[in-house]
Amino acid sequence: MHDQPLPVRHSCVDETLFRLQGLAYRYPDETLALSDIHLDIAPGDRIALVGQNGSGKTTLIKHLCGLLRPTAGQVQYKKHGFSEDYLERCRLEIGLLFQDPDDQLFGHTLLEDAAFGPRQQGLTQPDAEVAARQALQQVGLSEMAFKAPHNLSFGQKKRAALAGLLAMQPEVLLLDEPTANLDPHQEQVFLDLLSGFAGTLICISHDLIFLYDLCDRAVVLDQGRIEHDYTMRELVSHRQALREHGLDFSFRLVADIPPDEPALPSFEISGDTPAVAAEPDQPSLVDLRRYTYRYPDGTMALCDVALAFQAGERMAIVGENGAGKTTLLSCLLGLRHGQGKFLFDGRPVTRRRRKTLWRQVGMVFQDNADQLFCPSVREEIAFGLHQLGYAPSEVRQRVAEALSLVHLEGFEDRVPLHMSGGERKRLSLACVLAMQPKLLILDEPTAGLDPRGEELLLSILRQLDVTLLLVSHDMFFVGELTRRTLVMHLGRILEDAPTHVFLQDERLGNLNGLAYAYRQRSGRAIQALQHEHEHDHAHRHLHDHSHRHGESTHEHLHEHEHRHPHRFMHSHPGEEEPTHDHRPLRFHDHEHPDHDADHEHPH
Amino acid sequence: MPEPHSIALPLWQLPVLVFVPLSVLVALGIGLHRFVRRRSAPGEERDWSVPPLAYGAGTSPLHRWDVRCKIVTILVYSFMIVSLAHLTPALAAVAVSLLVLVVARASLVKVLMRLLAITGFVGMFFVVMPLTAPVHPGDTVVIFGGLKWLGFNLRGLQLAATIAAKAVAITLLMEPLLSTAPLPVTLHGLSRLGAPEIIGQMVLLSYRYLHVFRHEARRMSSGMRVRGFRKRTDLQTLRAVANFLGMLFVRSFERTERVFDAMRARGYRGRFPEPDAPPMTAKDLVLAAVWLLVGTALVAGDRITW
């Protein structure tokens, strides 16, 4: 049992920008996506819309800009329902940022794309271009105004998509996972841009640390219903509520990187002397020296890379978007072939051997959709095993083992396309693990996962006894899963250090724009909000229990105030030195011995 | 009626006279391809804050030409070239196209890339037509080693050369047509000429999302290859490819819906904003008339002189 929803304190209680009354929505296949949604949003609200994958968040914000029409109930914007004409006008005031920027960048150049909205608002071409240029300048892309969207990096595309909305000077911004798959530097850029936005902001994200910095109100959706609507501080301070809705990210806060290893010196990297963290006698599983790769168009992707690691090592590669991490992985998988020395398991990787590297190296892709294409889970896992030439009985056994390893027992006949993001990620992992690779590569394994999915994935990965190469922007996962970290920048390996040294060294963290400062700051603030210990304070209760009034014994819901010590999680907002002067602000549930004794209360 | 003229050559000269030139042509194509790749490699990043057609090459008469005049003129002129029946006027048309390229200051690499795209198609004519053209009176046929069924008809070769010259002349004009104005401006010009606006929008969106589609297909293909998939001639391959195509279709379909949603969310009401276009001037019409006169002269020359 956790706290019941309380009415939220609106920033402007007299005005309502959006009013959702009894909103319900069914997909064309009759699946119920939203039901009984009642929500008032005031101008200037900054709302975090949170919930597990599939809880109805994206469906809800699509209603707020009229892309979906409710099956029941209604949506009002500025006190009017979305009639056809009114909706067209409203859309010019409401900006919706999609999760995948390629969905949104349909213009021929960035300038043309950013000017699209202002042109629809009725501006002339020169005026629209001025607005577009200003927006591009805001997001730091004015130097690329005439570049085609497909020639941008992912982070640049995300910012360009935001510029397209900012150029319209919207009153409302609806953001769907604005920072998913961004490196920390780009994430910080987004945070700065959105923090400066003066209008109403509604943001969907699984990243509660990011939301904590950005929003002041939190709406929790669960299975298409609003479960909670309270302040952001209240949301993050209630671990039990977070846990019940699959949002508990606190596991990220409690585990600091254990300095359980000797502080190895970081390695100076040069092209022909790769750093090896473990015993030098043992042959390396992978050994790259002076390895260089150019794209067919001549762009240098990897330059003079030196890298060696041994069987059983767990290593991370970090770096900004476009640093060359994915290209390096492609080379390790044999998908690309560069110049230089490449030994796998002590033997040179020749042209012929490159074609068989897949037998020993497995990779879980960043986007599950790139890896899953079969009509059933069973076929999906068996695909690689068939290529390896296993007998049907062996295939069956390995499929069962792999599913058990990732906690997907009983999913054999499910369609991968219809599974949730977390399940698909674990299925991708199962597909690779079934092939028992010598080297397991994970490319951004936490991208798009909700906290529950992340925690489950983490527990699975911790148990694996395999040589691991992790590419991630998620420093928590890097710290938890690896013991050695490489920092890449512009196709080069800049540093090679023990992970705990890397995570504690601000110089390394900031080496290539990987700024984690705000995450650490917010993490500490949230930890302070979540602290738990015993208190003795007067507080109010709303509960039912059997009790006596003189001679009669009965049971009913009633409220009363009393004082007794109990243990609960609470916060000390705004206090440098907590005074523990707790006001009876909240209802909280705990044991109340002696409640069946005589006590007086109004009936 | 003059009889066909036969030239008998020993069989060993067949590879020397037919396959060696063809091999040279193929080698030339490969060399061209490598040259294009090397030249198209980016050096320093260009300044993307200014329009690509703003300075330098972007100030030629073709860049300033009204886009409607340009489309109509090049289209009509292309039909004129297609109607040519003889090699000499076709070669003259190639010369005219080269002149236009110089005036338009077109990118050599892009022009070569377009030529490369048609080399396979044109090369096929050079192989097939000399061997299959019916022998007419007056034709010269080279017969190797007495194999009459392997007659190499020089008239067929000339026909292939004429077709190739016409194809090259028209292909060379595609660069001045498409690269002297931004694609949206060209498509808007097309719709101002009466083409349905929706076609222009579809072309524009297709051009944009072709790259996204290509990247998705490549990533999915990599996903299959790292799990051991290699194309073979068996049922398993067929099933895997069918799954791949099906998934690609599903992803593309879903993206189409999301793109349309994104467009509607930004106020799209069935029309893309029209780019500002300066009005047509007398200069534009004069240039069109001069160009069409050249085309007419080529057609007349083709009909009268040869």
**ipTM at complex level:** 0.79
Regarding predicted confidence, which is higher, A322 or B178?
B178
Q: What is the CA radius of gyration of chain A?
A: 27
Q: What percent of chain B has pLDDT over 90?
A: 40
Looking at chain A, which residue has its C-alpha nearest residue B52?
Answer: A146
The C-alpha angle with vertex A374 and arms to A371 and A379, in degrees rounded to 5, equals 110
CB contact (8 A) between residue A374 and residue B223: no
Residue A294 CA to its chain's centroid (Å): 32
Q: Would an 8 Å CB–CB cutoff place B231 in contact with chain A? A: no
Regarding predicted confidence, which is higher, A458 or A266?
A458
CB A500 within 8 A of CB A479: yes
Q: Average pLDDT in the A436-440 region?
A: 93
Q: Would an 8 Å CB–CB cutoff place B33 in contact with chain A? A: no
Regarding predicted confidence, which is higher, A304 or A551?
A304
Low-confidence winner among A512-521, B47-56, B75-84, B228-237 (lowest mean pLDDT): A512-521
**Confidence at residue A589, expressed as pLDDT on a 0 to 100 scale:** 52
Regarding predicted confidence, which is higher, A280 or A261?
A280
Q: What percent of chain A has pLDDT over 90?
A: 41
Question: Contacts of residue B250 in chain A, CB cutoff 8 Å?
Answer: 417
- The SS3 of residue B297 is helix
Q: Answer yes or no: is pLDDT of B186 > 50.
A: yes
Looking at chain B, which residue has its C-alpha nearest residue A335?
Answer: B222
Residue to substitute from A90, A105, A146, interface B, most B β-carbons within 10 A: A146
Residue to substitute from B48, B202, B221, B237, interface A, most A β-carbons within 10 A: B48
B40, B41, B205 ranked by CB distance to A106: nearest: B205
Number of alpha carbons in the 13 Å side-chain half-sphere of residue B80: 24
**Confidence at residue A379, expressed as pLDDT on a 0 to 100 scale:** 94
CB contact (8 A) between residue B204 and residue A371: no
**Confidence at residue A567, expressed as pLDDT on a 0 to 100 scale:** 58
Q: What percent of chain A has pLDDT over 70?
A: 77
Q: Identify the sign of the CA torsion A29, A35, A38, A40.
A: negative
Q: Answer yes or no: is pLDDT of A264 > 50.
A: no
Low-confidence winner among A247-251, A504-508, A582-586 (lowest mean pLDDT): A582-586
User: Which residue intervals of A337-436 are DSSP H helices?
Assistant: 351-354, 377-388, 392-405, 421-433
**Confidence at residue A548, expressed as pLDDT on a 0 to 100 scale:** 62
Chain B 232-271, residues with CB within 8 Å of chain A CB atoms: 236, 240, 243-244, 246-247, 250-251, 255, 258-259, 261-269
Low-confidence winner among A467-476, B46-55, B63-72 (lowest mean pLDDT): B46-55
Residue type, A539: H
Q: Answer yes or no: is pLDDT of B112 > 80.
A: yes
Q: Which residue has the tokens 């790292």?
A: B226
**Confidence at residue A164, expressed as pLDDT on a 0 to 100 scale:** 95
Regarding predicted confidence, which is higher, A236 or A527?
A236
CB B187 within 8 A of CB B204: yes
Q: Answer yes or no: is pLDDT of A45 > 90.
A: yes
Question: Contacts of residue B219 in chain A, CB cutoff 8 Å?
Answer: 365, 367, 370
Dist. CA B51–CA B48, nearest whole Å: 7
CB A481 within 8 A of CB A468: yes
Domain ranges of chain B: 5-180+279-304, 197-265
Confidence of residue A257 (pLDDT cuts 50, 70, 90): very low
CB contact (8 A) between residue B265 and residue A384: no
Give the mean pLDDT of chain A. Answer: 81
Question: Contacts of residue B207 in chain A, CB cutoff 8 Å?
Answer: 108
Q: Average pLDDT in the A366-382 region?
A: 92
Question: Contacts of residue A119 in chain B, CB cutoff 8 Å?
Answer: 273
Q: Answer yes or no: is pLDDT of A176 > 50.
A: yes
Question: Contacts of residue B40 in chain A, CB cutoff 8 Å?
Answer: 297-298
Dist. CA A515–CA A473, nearest whole Å: 11
Burial class (CB in 10 A: 0-12, 13-18, 19+), A518: middle
CB contact (8 A) between residue A102 and residue B182: no
* Å between A326 CA and nearest CA of chain B: 12
Give the mean pLDDT of chain B. Answer: 86
* Å between A128 CA and nearest CA of chain B: 10
Counting one residue from A and one from B, how many pairs have CB atoms under 8 Å apart? 162
Strands (E), A268-422: 284-294, 300-310, 314-319, 339-344, 347-348, 361-364
**Confidence at residue B24, expressed as pLDDT on a 0 to 100 scale:** 80
Dump the DSSP string for A313-324: -EEEEEE-TTSS
Q: Average pLDDT in the A187-210 region?
A: 89
Looking at chain B, which residue has its C-alpha nearest residue A142?
Answer: B49
